Amino acid sequence: FRVINMCAGGRARSSWSDGRQTFAVRCLTQGNLQRSDTPLGAQARGLCSGAREIWASDEVAGVMNSGGARQMHYPIAPLLHRCNGIPSLGPRRARLICIFAEAPKRFLLKAKRLVANDEFKMRSTSYWLETARIRSFPALNRDISVDVLVIGGGITGISTAYLLKQSGLTVALIERTRLTTIDTGHTTAHLTYVTDTRLHTLAKNLGVDHAGAAWDAGAATLDEIEALVQAEKIDCEFTRLPAYLHVPLDRAKSGETAKLKEDADLAQKMGFDAAYLNSIPHFGVPGIRFANQAKFHPRKYLGGLIETVPGNGSHVFEKTAAREFDAEKRRVKANGHWISFDRVVIATNNPLVGFANMTSATLFQTKLALYSSYVFGARVPRGALPMAMFFDTKEPYDYMRIDQHGDFDYVIFGGEDHKTGQVEAEENCFDNLLLRLRRILPDAEIENRWSGQVIETNDLLPFIGENADRQFIATGFCGNGISFGTVSAMMARDWATGRKNPWADLFSPDRKILRGGMWDYLRENKDYPYYLIKGRLARPEADSVRELKRNAGMIVKSKHGKVAAYRDADGEVHKRSAVCPHMCCIVRWNDAEKTWDCPCHGSRFKATGEAMAGPAESPLPPL
């Protein structure tokens, strides 16, 4: 089987006429459609011997699973190979998309989505959750008493529980779902002291000393994790490697190059191993090499740490949510039982109110902005990229890391960040990201996709420390969750044991807005009144649930007001109020992740209404 695939960097194309229309067969190697002006007619038909062609409504798709078709140009070939022997496939499982030549734009989005979904052998789940298991722990079923309660079972909570236990304290860690399945389970696990915010910007807004201290904290994190891996003999693929901050691959403006040189010089003066390069490996564009960064498998690492926590008065509980805080007796009710303690660490990505004053907690929330980020995981040929981490200087930026697995490499590629709930079609974010991945790695075989949530702060630094009497919080990691989550654990240990910590003042939740932060504070908080009013005035998307398709959600008109209605795969309709319980904005349906997202402050809810991510702590109200 020969498809013309020697043109335009490997893009394959061919077409034929069936007497009615001219159809173009697209490999989508680089995610875009190449129109073909030369019909190949019988030649193309002959190549599809034995293939089944399925046409459905306005979605014209052909499934070609014959032996000849499986020889098509990569990356379609291995995916076709998987469907060998399947006698019939529906259009949603199409491996080869036949697009009407007369209206290619109309079908472009559908064609790309057939490539970028789980029907196309892409697993819509995090690579970390899929490739490592953590043993289950029981739910709380009795009253207990410990020195420190830790709420949250991600990188911050598990690391904190481990360090507290090693310091001789008794600890109880509680997680409302399963350990490491929420934010930590959807990370890209970059271990680096290089912050999302450029070093020259940090130095300008915070001062050189504060900027250097923030990077010092990240560097200490790498050493701490490496030491714990060695001490506990955890097989988590921990590896030191370089990271490259580079200009975008599609442009190299002199201004961007000058700023990179400025960052490299500043990092060197601060004592970090950084060097400006005119041409970084593989990509050949200007950038900075930061030596001695690291990567690991976060779930394998945390699985090793958590095994050491239970016993000798310490506990780990799953499916145990903190429901009621009793400040007078210093205890929390969960699953109908009380946990008494001397101190509490709130290690949820967006902190619970806990013992804090409700007014101060609400004001504190205005300092946080929640963003969604999107990720693909893909197989690539061994050696396709050097073992390193890469991030460019776009806003929002793309980021990538590479791992070795057997006879292939696995690349994790992310980007397309936006404020949660504020795009019309989240699926487009996956589409756009896939286009860029295809340009970089046309041979990539997509296996996973997922999205995660990061929290930005108004002055670019996390909030870590005591925010109420004997209550410690950690949030606002600004895209460096693995690094700052571990920093938080180190600071929580020092706080609980009475030690002085060098970063306590820098990251204090009570700190004043540092220089440059006030504008960001005002810019981020203008969203609330805008989306509050917009959501209230907008017309419902449907007048009746009869318009709902399966596995989809819509805002529906009702006598109860606006209703968040979801029809599941079995046809059952689930209805909740569309009003976010946090500050009364109207939620929106996220079709890519099948969630309800609030555009005002980033709360997320399951399709059936249960709270997934804060600041909302309760579900969408029942009708």
Mean pLDDT across the stretch 191-205? 92
140 is a domain residue? yes
Does residue 314 sit in the same domain as residue 200? yes
Does residue 48 sit in the same domain as residue 10? yes
For the cut 50, the answer to whether the pLDDT of residue 309 exceeds it is: yes
For the cut 50, the answer to whether the pLDDT of residue 114 exceeds it is: no
Q: Which residues are CB-contacts of 498 (< 8 A; sequence separation ≥ 6)?
A: none
Q: What is the pLDDT of residue 497?
A: 98
Task: Mark residue 460 as left, alpha or beta (left: phi above 0; alpha: psi -120 to 50; beta: remaining).
Answer: left
Does residue 115 sit in the same domain as residue 127? no
Does residue 127 sit in the same domain as residue 206? yes
Does residue 318 sit in the same domain as residue 350? yes
Does residue 96 sit in the same domain as residue 114? yes
Does residue 46 sit in the same domain as residue 130? no
Alpha-helical (H) ranges within 307-447 are 358-365, 426-440
Residue 99's closest CA among 16, 1, 5, 10?
16
423 is a domain residue? no
400 is a domain residue? no
For the cut 90, the answer to whether the pLDDT of residue 333 exceeds it is: yes
Name the band, by pLDDT with cuts 50, 70 and 90, for residue 524: low
Number of helices and strands in the chain (H, E): 14, 32
CA dist 572 and 553 (Å) reads: 12
Does residue 211 sit in the same domain as residue 232? yes
Mean pLDDT across the stretch 110-135? 67
Name the band, by pLDDT with cuts 50, 70 and 90, for residue 328: very high
CATH classification of the domain holding 499: 3.50.50.60
Average pLDDT along the chain: 81
Q: What is the pLDDT of residue 73?
A: 32
| Selected residue with higher pLDDT from 395 and 473 | 473
203 is a domain residue? yes
395 is a domain residue? no
| Selected residue with higher pLDDT from 121 and 223 | 223
Does residue 159 sit in the same domain as residue 185? yes
| Selected residue with higher pLDDT from 468 and 37 | 468
For the cut 80, the answer to whether the pLDDT of residue 449 exceeds it is: yes
Query: 120, 149, 171 — which closes off a domain?
Result: 120
Q: How many domains does the chain have?
A: 3
Name the band, by pLDDT with cuts 50, 70 and 90, for residue 365: confident
137-156: per-residue pLDDT in tens?
Answer: 999 999 999 999 999 999 99
CATH classification of the domain holding 580: 2.102.10.10
576-588: per-residue pLDDT in tens?
Answer: 999 999 888 999 9
3-class DSSP state of 132: coil
CA dist 456 and 475 (Å) reads: 9
Structure tokens at 612: 């997934």
Does residue 231 sit in the same domain as residue 143? yes
Does residue 521 sit in the same domain as residue 533? no
Q: Are strands 552-558 and 408-419 parallel, antiparallel or unpaired?
A: unpaired
Bridge partners (DSSP) listed for residue 466: 472
Does residue 227 sit in the same domain as residue 300? yes
203-219: per-residue pLDDT in tens?
Answer: 998 899 999 999 999 99
Name the band, by pLDDT with cuts 50, 70 and 90, for residue 79: very low
For the cut 60, the answer to whether the pLDDT of residue 508 exceeds it is: yes
Q: What is the pLDDT of residue 513?
A: 64
For the cut 60, the answer to whether the pLDDT of residue 539 exceeds it is: yes
Distances (CA, A) of 14 to 26, 69, 75, 112: 7, 13, 16, 18
Rounded to a whole number of angstroms, the distance between the first and last alpha carbons of the chain is 59
251 is a domain residue? no
7-44: per-residue pLDDT in tens?
Answer: 223 333 333 233 322 333 333 323 333 333 333 333 33
317 is a domain residue? yes
Query: 95, 120, 145 — which closes off a domain?
Result: 120
195 is a domain residue? yes
CA dist 99 and 235 (Å) reads: 47
Query: 525, 544, 564 — which closes off a domain?
Result: 525
CA dist 201 and 478 (Å) reads: 14
Give residue 582's domain range: 528-613
| Selected residue with higher pLDDT from 79 and 560 | 560
